[in-house]
Each structure stands twice: as structure tokens, then as C-alpha cells.
Amino acid sequence: MKKTLCIVVTVWFASSAQAYDGTHCKAPGNCWEPKPGYPAQVAGSKYDPKHDPAELNKQSESIKAMEIRNAKRVANLNKTGKFIYKVDDIK
């Protein structure tokens, strides 16, 4: 019984994996195609996320602040020979 069930499950998985090919490749490795009803170009469609520029700049602002803090840490390390992580503790 178990052996038969195992064979049936194996055949089912193998057939389901080969059942759908569905891709029409434009070039080797370029096989993306939109689902039915989804536009080929997202820009300008109802699926366009229209990101807020302020939200997009948050990461660049945090990176700039991180670089300033790291510069203070390195300057203190070069000056005193001790690495202090908390920038507020640097005199």
C-alpha cells in the first residue's frame, strides 16, 4: 500500500512539474512575460507605485548621517588610539 502510494505521488509530482511550460522567451534567459491583464510596461499604468521622493531620499539621508558618524569615530581613533562607538561620548 505504501509503495503504491509513493509511486502515485512521485508520478503526480513529475507530471505536474512538466505540465506547464508557458514561457515564450524573447532571448535566452529573457523569459519574463506579464500575467494576463497586467501591462507590459508598469510606468504610467494603474500598477505604477508612484513613489514619494521624500520616502526615496530617506535611505540616502541615513547613509550620509552614518558616514558623518563614522568619520567622527575614525578621527577620534586616529587622535586618541581608542575606538569609541557612541559618537556622543567623543569629546
pLDDT digits 0-9 by tens, 44-79: 888 888 888 888 899 999 999 999 999 999 999 999
Per DSSP, helices labelled H in 31-83 are: 53-80
In this structure, are residues 71 and 65 in contact, taking their beta carbons and an 8 Å threshold?
no
The answer to pTM > 0.85 is no
Give percent of the chain above pLDDT 90: 37
Q: What is the DSSP string of 14-32?
A: HHHHHH------SBTTB--
Confidence at residue 21, expressed as pLDDT on a 0 to 100 scale: 57
Residue 16, in any domain of the structure: no
Q: Please state, rounded to an integer, the average pLDDT across all residues of the chain.
A: 81
Residue 23 scores a pLDDT above 70? no
Residue 37, in any domain of the structure: no
Instruction: Give the range of the structural domain holding residue 61, as residue numbers without chain letter.
Output: 52-91
- CATH of residue 90's domain is 4.10.160.10
Q: Is 30 helix (H, G, I), strand (E, B) or coil?
A: strand
